[in-house]
């Protein structure tokens, strides 16, 4: 079996997919990192391993971190939440000072952050990777109370995926699973479509008379032809996807009747309703003045230092990093470069040249994975995708059935390898 250059790039272990760095002697300094998720934990580990002179404090409000990646596999019954939940003990054992507190304020002029218990933590350089918040009310009627009946399952620390999984398991055979999907930008562009696939996989085996209706606020989505090929092949008659021009945009929800209402007033009722609402940078980033009117944080593309507040590096989903997607892989790539820039700045050197990597894998069915790969460099005002550097898995029609099975199987294995390697890098 031969593997394409793109697939090989997709399979590169995360630890190797770091920016090119000059690992010269770094200056010493106190680096405080807010958020122990994909960006923050990667930054802490990378800083600890590569720049021993740095004093690293990681501030994370939760005792454990449950990943969004592989959360959709919990819906298919393939994973448990325990298997995608990690603690911070090993990061602490490596010499990262881990503080489990909520940061309530950032004082860029005084170079310190305030914790919920009133403690002030001083820093020389601050890294923030606090993730996202949901825009409650952006879909009329969709607030925190509504999300208990119509789960989002999009921020594990806010709502465990088990709520949606339980509703799915309790749904009668013949019931309809309704999804509302937001417009760009949002966390994990292929995530809703992997979710459609994993729910369909479950329905096919456990509730074959059921249907899934996905109502989308956009007309196109990441890896669309690949997902749609797979739904046709694996889940015929189960998945119906409607884009914005087919009245797919959900404007309001009615939790009491389990209905969602579209732009042109159609009410769609579900036995289970999964609403993924519009999003924005997490509150602490907005409160610190890092976000612009879009609700997301502009950064200098060559360094990931905030474009609005000096001395703060912003990573991950909270940033405006398009065309890079909001993904865990991307957050980890931002993290490594930002730490290298911080080490350089503390040593009085110019920042290293930047190259950023991303691969988004999606599980679509048993032994069936697909991916999209991108390599990015800084342009004058934003990141730019390096032409011809990445790509997307080939479509079904371009391969023989035997070759297709092998290819999809390999990509499912690469996905598992990526997940194991990135979580090991963050928490191992």
Which residue number, 61 or 349, has a Cβ lying nearer to ligand FAD? 61
Q: What is the nearest approach in angstroms of ligand FAD to the Cβ of residue 329?
A: 4
C-alpha atoms less than 13 angstroms from C-alpha of 84 in its C-beta half-sphere: 23
- Nearer residue to ligand FAD within complex by CB, 231 or 296: 296
* Residue nearest ligand FAD, Cβ-based: 37
Of 270 and 328, which CB lies nearer to ligand FAD in the complex structure? 328
* Binding-site ranges for ligand FAD (CB under 6 A): 34-40, 59-62, 65, 68-69, 71-72, 102-103, 129-131, 154, 157, 187-188, 191, 195, 282, 284, 316-318, 326-329, 331, 360-361
Rounded to whole angstroms, the Cα distance separating 204 from 358 reads 32
Residue 136 to residues 133, 139, 143, 277, 280, Cα–Cα distance (Å): 9, 7, 5, 8, 10
**191-206 and 224-234 helices, crossing angle to 10°:** 0
Q: Which residue has the tokens 């997919």?
A: 17
Closest separation between CB of residue 363 and ligand FAD, Å? Answer: 8
For residues 192 and 248, which CB has a smaller minimum distance to ligand FAD in the complex? 192
Comparison of 27 and 391: residue with beta carbon closer to ligand FAD: 391
Q: State in angstroms the smallest separation of the CB of 263 from ligand FAD.
A: 24
* Smallest distance, ligand FAD to C-beta of residue 185, A: 11
CA distance 182 to 200: 20
Residue where the block lists tokens 């250059």: 5
Q: What's the min distance (Å) between Cβ of 258 and ligand FAD?
A: 22
- 11 contacts 393 by C-beta, under 8 angstroms: no
Closest CA to 276 of 197, 202, 189, 174: 189
Nearer to ligand FAD, 40 or 160 (CB): 40
Nearer to ligand FAD among residue 45 and residue 187 (C-beta): 187
Chain Cα centroid distance, residue 146: 23
C-alpha count within 13 angstroms, C-beta hemisphere, residue 350: 4
In 142-292, where does DSSP find H-type helix? Answer: 146-149, 161-170, 191-206, 224-234, 283-287
Q: How far is the CB of 403 from ligand FAD (least distance, A)?
A: 24
CB atoms within 10 A of CB 170: 10
- Considering the complex, what minimum distance in angstroms separates the CB of residue 416 from ligand FAD? 11
Q: Smallest gap, in angstroms, from Cβ of residue 182 to ligand FAD?
A: 12
Residue-wise burial string across 19-37, b where 16 or more C-beta atoms lie within 10 A, e elsewhere: bebeeeebbebbbbbbbbb
Helix and strand element counts for the chain (H, E): 11, 25
The residues near 175 (Cβ < 8 Å, ≥ 6 apart) are 207, 210, 270, 271, 272
**Measured from the CB atom, is 197 or 262 closer to ligand FAD?**
197
Minimum CB–partner distance for residue 264 and ligand FAD (Å):
28
């Amino acid at each position: 079996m031969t593997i394409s250059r793109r697939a090989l790039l997709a399979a590169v272990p995360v630890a190797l997919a770091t920016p090119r760095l000059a690992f010269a002697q770094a200056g010493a300094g106190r680096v405080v990192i807010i958020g122990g998720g994909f960006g923050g934990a990667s930054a802490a580990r990378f800083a600890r391993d590569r720049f021993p002179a740095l004093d690293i404090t990681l501030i994370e409000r939760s005792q454990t971190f449950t990943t969004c990646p592989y959360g959709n596999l919990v819906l298919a019954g393939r994973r448990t939440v325990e298997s995608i939940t990690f603690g911070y003990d090993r990061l602490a054992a490596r010499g990262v000072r881990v503080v489990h507190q909520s940061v309530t304020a950032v004082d860029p002029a005084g170079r310190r952050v305030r914790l919920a218990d009133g403690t002030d933590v001083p820093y020389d350089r601050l890294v923030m990777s606090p993730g996202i918040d949901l825009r409650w009310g952006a879909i009329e009627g969709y607030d925190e109370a509504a999300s208990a009946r119509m789960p989002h399952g999009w921020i594990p620390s806010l709502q465990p995926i088990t709520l949606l999984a339980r509703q799915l398991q309790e749904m009668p055979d013949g019931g309809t699973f309704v999804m509302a999907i937001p417009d760009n930008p949002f966390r994990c562009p292929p995530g809703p479509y992997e979710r459609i696939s994993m729910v369909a996989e479950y329905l096919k085996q456990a509730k074959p008379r059921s249907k899934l209706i996905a109502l989308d606020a956009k007309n196109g989505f990441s890896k669309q032809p690949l997902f749609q090929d797979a739904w046709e092949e694996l889940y015929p008659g189960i998945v119906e996807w409607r884009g914005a021009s087919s009245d797919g945009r959900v404007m309001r929800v009615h939790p009491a009747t389990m209905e969602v209402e579209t732009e042109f007033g159609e009410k769609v009722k579900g036995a289970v309703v999964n609403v993924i609402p519009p999003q924005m940078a997490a509150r602490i980033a907005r409160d610190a003045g890092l976000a612009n009117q879009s609700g997301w944080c502009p950064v200098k593309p060559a360094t990931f230092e905030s474009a609005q507040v000096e001395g703060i590096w912003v990573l991950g989903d909270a940033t405006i990093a398009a065309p890079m997607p909001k993904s865990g892989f991307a957050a980890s790539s931002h993290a490594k470069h930002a730490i290298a820039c911080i080490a350089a700045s503390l040593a009085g050197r110019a920042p290293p040249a930047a190259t950023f990597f991303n691969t988004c894998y999606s599980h679509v069915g048993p032994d069936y994975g697909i991916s999209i790969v991108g390599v990015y460099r800084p342009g004058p005002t934003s990141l730019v995708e390096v032409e011809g550097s990445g790509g997307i898995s080939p479509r079904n029609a371009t391969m023989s059935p035997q070759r297709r099975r092998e290819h999809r199987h390999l990509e499912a294995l690469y996905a598992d390898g990526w997940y194991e390697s990135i979580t090991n890098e963050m928490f191992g």
